[in-house]
Homo-oligomer: A and B are copies of this chain.
Amino acid sequence: MTDPSPSTKKRILDAAGEIFGKMGFKDATIRRIAMAAEVNIAAINYHFRDKEGLYGEVLEEVFRTGFTRFPATMDLPADAEPRERLRAFIRAMFYRLQSGEGWGGIAGKGKLIARELLDPSPAFEAVLDRYIKPHKDLLTAIIVDIMQFNPGPEKVLPCAISVIGQCIYYAFASAVIGKISAGDAPTEANLDRLADFVWLFSLGGIEAIKQTNFPAKDSP
Protein backbone atom coordinates (compact mmCIF):
# COMPACT_ATOMS: atom_id res chain seq x y z
CA MET A 1 0.00 0.00 0.00
CA THR A 2 2.74 2.38 0.97
CA ASP A 3 5.47 0.84 -1.16
CA PRO A 4 4.00 -0.29 -4.44
CA SER A 5 5.79 -1.59 -7.49
CA PRO A 6 8.62 0.81 -8.30
CA SER A 7 7.31 1.34 -11.76
CA THR A 8 3.71 2.46 -12.01
CA LYS A 9 3.37 4.92 -9.16
CA LYS A 10 6.75 6.46 -9.80
CA ARG A 11 6.05 6.81 -13.49
CA ILE A 12 2.80 8.60 -12.74
CA LEU A 13 4.55 10.98 -10.36
CA ASP A 14 7.21 11.85 -12.91
CA ALA A 15 4.80 12.41 -15.75
CA ALA A 16 2.46 14.38 -13.52
CA GLY A 17 5.27 16.67 -12.36
CA GLU A 18 6.16 17.42 -15.94
CA ILE A 19 2.61 18.01 -17.09
CA PHE A 20 1.31 19.84 -14.03
CA GLY A 21 4.33 22.11 -14.39
CA LYS A 22 3.83 22.85 -18.04
CA MET A 23 0.06 23.28 -18.06
CA GLY A 24 -1.16 23.96 -14.54
CA PHE A 25 -3.57 21.98 -12.43
CA LYS A 26 -6.67 22.60 -14.47
CA ASP A 27 -5.24 22.17 -17.96
CA ALA A 28 -3.34 19.04 -17.04
CA THR A 29 -5.85 16.25 -17.58
CA ILE A 30 -5.43 12.89 -15.98
CA ARG A 31 -5.85 11.31 -19.39
CA ARG A 32 -2.81 13.18 -20.63
CA ILE A 33 -0.84 12.26 -17.54
CA ALA A 34 -1.86 8.64 -17.87
CA MET A 35 -0.83 8.59 -21.51
CA ALA A 36 2.56 10.14 -20.78
CA ALA A 37 3.13 7.72 -17.92
CA GLU A 38 1.88 4.83 -20.05
CA VAL A 39 -0.57 3.67 -17.43
CA ASN A 40 -4.30 3.20 -17.36
CA ILE A 41 -6.41 6.18 -16.37
CA ALA A 42 -7.90 4.38 -13.41
CA ALA A 43 -4.44 3.65 -12.04
CA ILE A 44 -4.14 7.30 -11.08
CA ASN A 45 -7.26 7.25 -8.95
CA TYR A 46 -6.24 3.90 -7.58
CA HIS A 47 -2.82 5.07 -6.39
CA PHE A 48 -3.58 8.69 -5.51
CA ARG A 49 -7.28 8.72 -4.65
CA ASP A 50 -8.02 11.62 -7.00
CA LYS A 51 -6.42 14.36 -9.05
CA GLU A 52 -5.88 16.57 -6.04
CA GLY A 53 -4.18 13.76 -4.17
CA LEU A 54 -1.82 13.26 -7.06
CA TYR A 55 -1.07 16.96 -7.21
CA GLY A 56 -0.29 17.08 -3.52
CA GLU A 57 2.24 14.29 -3.74
CA VAL A 58 3.81 15.83 -6.81
CA LEU A 59 4.20 19.16 -5.05
CA GLU A 60 5.83 17.60 -2.01
CA GLU A 61 8.23 15.59 -4.14
CA VAL A 62 9.19 18.54 -6.31
CA PHE A 63 10.10 20.67 -3.29
CA ARG A 64 11.89 17.86 -1.54
CA THR A 65 14.12 16.99 -4.48
CA GLY A 66 14.75 20.65 -5.32
CA PHE A 67 15.88 21.61 -1.84
CA THR A 68 17.85 18.40 -1.46
CA ARG A 69 19.74 18.77 -4.71
CA PHE A 70 20.44 22.48 -4.19
CA PRO A 71 20.50 23.27 -0.48
CA ALA A 72 20.47 26.96 0.31
CA THR A 73 23.88 26.76 1.95
CA MET A 74 25.48 25.19 -1.10
CA ASP A 75 27.48 23.16 1.44
CA LEU A 76 29.12 26.33 2.67
CA PRO A 77 30.01 26.11 6.40
CA ALA A 78 27.59 28.03 8.60
CA ASP A 79 30.37 30.29 9.85
CA ALA A 80 31.56 31.35 6.41
CA GLU A 81 31.76 35.00 5.46
CA PRO A 82 28.14 36.23 5.47
CA ARG A 83 28.41 37.87 2.08
CA GLU A 84 29.56 34.58 0.62
CA ARG A 85 26.68 32.84 2.34
CA LEU A 86 24.30 35.25 0.64
CA ARG A 87 25.99 34.53 -2.65
CA ALA A 88 25.53 30.81 -2.11
CA PHE A 89 21.91 31.34 -1.13
CA ILE A 90 21.12 33.29 -4.28
CA ARG A 91 23.04 30.91 -6.47
CA ALA A 92 21.17 27.98 -4.98
CA MET A 93 17.87 29.69 -5.75
CA PHE A 94 18.83 30.26 -9.36
CA TYR A 95 20.06 26.72 -9.87
CA ARG A 96 17.15 25.19 -8.02
CA LEU A 97 14.61 27.19 -9.99
CA GLN A 98 16.22 27.24 -13.40
CA SER A 99 18.66 24.44 -14.05
CA GLY A 100 17.74 21.19 -15.72
CA GLU A 101 18.95 19.30 -12.67
CA GLY A 102 16.59 21.46 -10.64
CA TRP A 103 13.14 22.55 -11.62
CA GLY A 104 14.00 23.48 -15.17
CA GLY A 105 12.67 27.02 -15.06
CA ILE A 106 9.57 28.07 -16.87
CA ALA A 107 9.80 25.18 -19.29
CA GLY A 108 9.55 22.62 -16.50
CA LYS A 109 8.46 22.35 -12.92
CA GLY A 110 9.56 25.87 -12.12
CA LYS A 111 6.25 27.01 -13.46
CA LEU A 112 4.52 24.82 -10.94
CA ILE A 113 6.27 26.60 -8.08
CA ALA A 114 5.48 29.98 -9.58
CA ARG A 115 1.84 29.08 -9.84
CA GLU A 116 1.77 28.03 -6.22
CA LEU A 117 3.16 31.39 -5.17
CA LEU A 118 0.52 33.10 -7.26
CA ASP A 119 -2.35 31.20 -5.81
CA PRO A 120 -1.48 28.49 -3.34
CA SER A 121 -3.28 25.18 -3.45
CA PRO A 122 -4.41 23.42 -0.27
CA ALA A 123 -1.36 21.18 -0.53
CA PHE A 124 0.96 24.17 -0.40
CA GLU A 125 0.48 24.78 3.30
CA ALA A 126 2.59 21.77 4.23
CA VAL A 127 5.34 22.75 1.80
CA LEU A 128 5.35 26.24 3.25
CA ASP A 129 6.06 25.04 6.76
CA ARG A 130 8.54 22.40 5.79
CA TYR A 131 10.65 24.17 3.19
CA ILE A 132 9.88 27.83 2.70
CA LYS A 133 9.75 29.10 6.27
CA PRO A 134 13.13 27.59 7.25
CA HIS A 135 14.49 28.94 3.99
CA LYS A 136 13.31 32.42 4.91
CA ASP A 137 14.79 32.11 8.40
CA LEU A 138 18.15 31.22 6.93
CA LEU A 139 18.10 34.23 4.65
CA THR A 140 17.13 36.67 7.39
CA ALA A 141 19.96 35.32 9.54
CA ILE A 142 22.40 35.93 6.70
CA ILE A 143 21.14 39.48 6.25
CA VAL A 144 21.50 40.21 9.95
CA ASP A 145 25.07 38.90 9.79
CA ILE A 146 25.83 41.12 6.81
CA MET A 147 24.46 44.16 8.61
CA GLN A 148 26.53 43.15 11.64
CA PHE A 149 23.63 43.89 13.94
CA ASN A 150 19.90 43.26 14.00
CA PRO A 151 17.96 46.34 12.89
CA GLY A 152 14.64 44.62 13.58
CA PRO A 153 12.20 42.77 11.37
CA GLU A 154 10.82 45.92 9.76
CA LYS A 155 14.12 46.21 7.93
CA VAL A 156 15.31 42.61 7.67
CA LEU A 157 12.15 41.03 6.33
CA PRO A 158 11.66 43.44 3.43
CA CYS A 159 15.32 42.92 2.54
CA ALA A 160 14.71 39.19 2.41
CA ILE A 161 11.64 39.75 0.27
CA SER A 162 13.60 41.93 -2.13
CA VAL A 163 16.33 39.33 -2.50
CA ILE A 164 13.91 36.49 -3.06
CA GLY A 165 11.75 38.65 -5.28
CA GLN A 166 14.55 39.24 -7.74
CA CYS A 167 15.35 35.53 -7.94
CA ILE A 168 11.74 34.47 -8.31
CA TYR A 169 11.02 37.14 -10.88
CA TYR A 170 13.61 35.69 -13.20
CA ALA A 171 11.88 32.35 -12.95
CA PHE A 172 8.45 33.84 -13.06
CA ALA A 173 8.70 36.23 -15.93
CA SER A 174 11.45 34.71 -18.01
CA ALA A 175 9.14 34.49 -21.00
CA VAL A 176 8.60 38.24 -20.95
CA ILE A 177 12.20 39.00 -19.97
CA GLY A 178 13.33 37.09 -23.01
CA LYS A 179 11.16 39.19 -25.27
CA ILE A 180 12.27 42.47 -23.75
CA SER A 181 15.92 41.83 -23.00
CA ALA A 182 16.96 38.70 -24.80
CA GLY A 183 20.34 38.28 -23.15
CA ASP A 184 18.95 38.33 -19.63
CA ALA A 185 16.48 35.49 -19.80
CA PRO A 186 17.81 32.77 -17.54
CA THR A 187 19.46 29.89 -19.37
CA GLU A 188 21.71 27.12 -18.22
CA ALA A 189 24.65 29.16 -19.53
CA ASN A 190 24.16 32.45 -17.70
CA LEU A 191 22.85 31.35 -14.31
CA ASP A 192 26.09 32.26 -12.60
CA ARG A 193 26.18 35.69 -14.17
CA LEU A 194 22.57 36.47 -13.27
CA ALA A 195 22.98 35.13 -9.73
CA ASP A 196 26.08 37.24 -9.19
CA PHE A 197 24.30 40.29 -10.47
CA VAL A 198 21.44 39.80 -8.04
CA TRP A 199 24.01 39.21 -5.32
CA LEU A 200 25.89 42.45 -5.97
CA PHE A 201 22.69 44.42 -6.38
CA SER A 202 21.35 43.01 -3.14
CA LEU A 203 24.53 43.73 -1.20
CA GLY A 204 24.18 47.34 -2.27
CA GLY A 205 20.52 47.35 -1.34
CA ILE A 206 21.13 45.84 2.10
CA GLU A 207 23.89 48.32 2.80
CA ALA A 208 21.63 51.20 1.78
CA ILE A 209 18.81 50.01 4.01
CA LYS A 210 21.20 49.54 6.89
CA GLN A 211 22.29 53.15 6.69
CA THR A 212 18.86 54.71 6.27
CA ASN A 213 16.25 55.33 8.86
CA PHE A 214 13.34 53.33 7.55
CA PRO A 215 10.43 53.63 7.62
CA ALA A 216 10.74 57.37 7.34
CA LYS A 217 8.02 59.96 7.22
CA ASP A 218 9.98 62.58 5.34
CA SER A 219 11.28 62.25 1.82
CA PRO A 220 14.98 62.96 1.28
Contact = CB atoms under 8 A, between A and B. Distances in A.
Interface of A: 24, 26-27, 87, 106, 111, 114-115, 117-120, 128, 132-133, 136, 153-154, 157-162, 164-166, 168-170, 172-173, 175-177, 179-181, 183-184, 193-194, 196-198, 200-209, 212, 214-216, 219
A93 to B, nearest CB: 12
The 10 tightest CB contacts between A and B, nearest first, are A204-B208, A165-B169, A201-B205, A204-B204, A205-B205, A117-B173, A204-B205, A157-B181, A26-B26, A165-B166
Given A201-B209, A205-B205, A209-B204, A165 B176 contact: no
B180 A136 contact: yes
Contacts of A153: 181, 183
Contacts of A114: 118, 172
Nearest to A193: B215
B161 A177 contact: yes
27 contacts: A111-B118, A114-B172, A117-B172, A117-B173, A117-B175, A118-B172, A119-B175, A120-B176, A128-B180, A132-B176, A133-B180, A157-B184, A161-B184, A164-B169, A166-B166, A166-B169, A196-B215, A197-B209, A197-B215, A200-B209, A200-B214, A201-B206, A201-B208, A202-B205, A203-B208, A204-B209, A205-B208
B118 A173 contact: yes
A160 B159 CA distance: 18
A146 to B, nearest CB: 12
Interface centre among A133, A181, A196 (most CB of B within 10 A): A181
Q: How many copies does the complex hold?
A: 2
Contacts of A206: 201, 204
Contacts of A162: 166, 197-198, 201
A8 to B, nearest CB: 28
A92 to B, nearest CB: 16
Contacts of A203: 208
A170 B198 CA distance: 17
Contact of A197 (B164, B184, B214): B214
A136 B184 CA distance: 14
